Amino acid sequence: MTQALSGRILLKEDQTARYYRIPGGEIVSTIKDLKEKGLNLISIFGVEEFEGETGCSLLYVLENPGSEKMLILVSHGNGMARCSVSGIFPVASLFEREIADGFGIVFTGAFDTRRLFLHEAYPAGFHPLKKEVQNKPPTTVGENKPGDPYQFKTIEGSSVFQVPVGPVHAGIIEPGHFRFSVIGETIVNLEIRLGYLHRGLEKCAEGKTPEQTVRIAESISGDESAVNACGLCMAIEQICGVTIPPRAEYIRGVLLELERACSLLSDLAGMVTDIAHPVSASRFTVLREHIQREADQICGSRFLKGAICPGGVSDQISKESLDHLFKNAGEIERELDEIAGWVLSIPSVIDRFATTGVVQPELIRSLALSGPVARASGSFADTRINHPYGVYRERIPGQVCEQGGDVLARFTLKHQEIRASLRLIQELIVFLPEGPAKIPVQVHDGFALSMAESPRGMVLHWVYIRNGFIDRYKVRTASFCNWYAIEHAVIGNIVADFPVINKSLNLSYAGTDL
């Protein structure tokens, strides 16, 4: 890596990243060299007027498996055309399409230039993340004057039929379109389209105080409120040079693991629901309800909202509520093991789970997959371990990995991860330090990146503060990348298996439609 960046200007090095300036004309060759050195591209995003520069700067975030710190390449430019790196890392296509919608940048050499989150109703030339665009509802083109229709991939063949599903679904869930190409019942291609409920959260954060922005972070994805609030707060605290008290670190760890257990229990219930096993689904849901009641008792929110803030955690969290959680965590684990063991003893369950919806290991790097999706396909990547933060520097979580890559592997892995989270919660409560749970934060200008492990995988929060207010807030959730694993996982499976494959990944629509 050092040789690939020889002669480059080091702009900044902090707790989580090293920033290097790269001329725009050399970004492709630099990214290619870094890939050969083993680094993985995990995000690209744009920032206007970054550190005194005119125009839009692009920041390329790469993960070095051998380093706790990320590498960020900063490429400045005044023009609206940049070179695509999607031929090197396919996942770059998603990031580049997002930047094209947000800032109007054109990526030359890109293999996919379709809109990502700006659908046909948005007018041509509307790019909401540009500073000149006010944060207000846009004027849409109207139903009678739609933009160019979205072009789905066409699979040729006399026996190939298309099966469109969504964006409106039978259940009370968020919108997403799934375009299947099938021969008989067998799926030969799937293309997904999201962005139907783009909310403009990153634009909404502009001009807010860091404290106000926490509420925005909590609304990114309902069942990941705590981890997104924590990610934002860690970036803010790094900018402001704040080290939160040990007690706050431990309580944050309890909240994050509680959220993980709750989300993954929902996944287990969803998987058995979609193979018509409602009895076990009900029992998993009951356990999830127990955890949500514990969350409500701890902080007054079943989704842990308002619990994490810059400088620590809410001072309303009592020792008594944590002791109550400690007592019940063991009982929840015992019942979880009983239910999971029963489910996996049923031949019809194994028949539906095994070899269904396989995510091949080689997709992990190409698509920047993370979390249970990657770990069920042989990866040991876990942000809490590879890029430790907060209490995870002291209390290392139990590492879980499965090799099969199918629905069965994801069910098994999520069961084991819930057990590991419940045990870690008990450990953190036992060793909970005394002292304050929050300290004041004096806001400073600057920028920083934080990484955290959500129930679905790695989340990135990048914050840029100018004149005491948020100038740019970039979020990349695990779902943003992981959604595209399903396009590969369903190939060769039958249409009837799509629901259980989808539920085994259980990705967030809201976490993508920012």
* Total domain count, the chain: 2
Of 93, 108, 123, the residue at which a domain comes to its end is: 108
Find the CATH number of the domain harbouring 433: 1.10.645.10
210 in the same domain as 101: no
Q: Are strands 17-21 and 9-13 parallel, antiparallel or unpaired?
A: antiparallel
The arithmetic mean of pLDDT across residues 209-226, rounded, is: 96
How much of the chain exceeds pLDDT 70, in percent? 98
206 in the same domain as 96: no
326 in the same domain as 458: yes
The pLDDT of residue 242: 96
Q: Is residue 138 part of a domain?
A: no
Q: Which of 16-30, 222-236, 443-457 has the lowest mean pLDDT?
A: 16-30
Which pLDDT band, with edges at 50, 70 and 90, does 3 fall under? low
Q: For 254-276, what is each residue's pLDDT tens digit?
A: 999 999 999 999 999 999 999 99
Of 108, 128, 162, the residue at which a domain comes to its end is: 108
Of 108, 139, 172, the residue at which a domain comes to its end is: 108
Helix or strand run (H / E) with residue 229: helix 225-239
DSSP 500-513: HHHHHH---STTT-
467 in the same domain as 358: yes
Q: Is residue 301 part of a domain?
A: yes
- If one counts every other C-beta atom within 10 angstroms of the C-beta of residue 469, the result is 16
67 in the same domain as 211: no
213 in the same domain as 75: no
pTM assigned to the model:
0.95
Q: Is residue 148 part of a domain?
A: no
Q: Is residue 154 part of a domain?
A: no
The arithmetic mean of pLDDT across residues 130-158, rounded, is: 82
Find the CATH number of the domain harbouring 16: 3.30.460.80
The arithmetic mean of pLDDT across residues 214-223, rounded, is: 95
- With a CB cutoff of 8 Å and minimum separation 6, the contacts of 260 are 417, 418, 421, 454, 455
The pLDDT of residue 68: 95
Buried b (16+ CB within 10 A) or exposed e, 236-275: bbbbbebebbbbbbbbbbbbbbbbbbbbbbbbbbbbbbbb
Identify which has the larger pLDDT, 466 or 170. 466
Query: What secondary structure letter does DSSP report for 436?
Result: -
